[in-house]
Structure 1
Amino acid sequence: MASKLTMTPGEILREGELEKRSDSLFQLWKKKRGVLTDDSLRLFSGTSERAKELRFHSILKVDCVEHTRKYVYFTIVTTDFKEIDFRCTGESCWNASITLALIDYQNRRAVEGFRRHRFQRAASEAEEEPESPEQRALSP
């Protein structure tokens, strides 16, 4: 995975083929072209340029379900607990790439939240500081 110092927002981390299980009655596996960025996984069907996008803010976790000789089966669990099943060839390691990108995204959000909280706390403490003796002497 590329260093965050050199990465631009929306930069493609990985691109390639993986399969998604359909929601239909027969639950067929459909080949998709996946494009993984630092904040989402986009899935393209066939030659279509329209993509379904799974943004990381709506993904809770990636569960690895099963390894077979040919495939790794994994599930993406969304924040509303919807499960989306995927499989990829064992050597392609899509599940690992998605998991690492998701963890990186979650870490960046946690650091941003910490900085925002620290900045807000510092600002509120500055407002609550008592007046210095010099400031009281100048007050009417």
Structure 2
Amino acid sequence: MNLVKRNYSNGYLVMDQFFKDILGGTQYAHKTVPPVNVKESEGFFNVALVAPGLKKEDFNIEVDNGLLTISYKAEAEKTEEQEGKYTRKEFTQTSFKRAFTLPENISEESINAAYTDGILNITLPKKEEAEKPAKRVIEIL
């Protein structure tokens, strides 16, 4: 499973301080892509994506040529007349798309997903490998 690690260098932290008053820091940009945990077990991988407040119908999960793509398209906010006005509004829903290159040993036909308590869990079962021949010592004649 391909993973990309974020590297927070000192230069990044300086930039974070510079933009702190304007945008609330550069960590604001990281909120648009939901975090993912990838866990490998003996027979499968599990991808857990945190996306609270959505419905299972909101997600689009595709597998094409060894690429797993998870996406969500946010609809435009409905402007309804409500009593009162906001003094602060931080709830937002933004579209996202995450893609992962699958290892060759994944059984693409058996992938399944479940959305429970704000976490999308995708199970990627490994293919049953053909039994490997036992180690053999060859005698020299």
TM-score of the two chains, using structure 1 as the length reference = 0.28
TM-score, normalised relative to structure 2? 0.27
Structure with more relative contact order (C-alpha pairs < 8 Å, separation 6 or more): 2
Structure with the higher fraction of residues in helix conformation = 1
Instruction: Select the structure that is richer in strand.
Output: 1
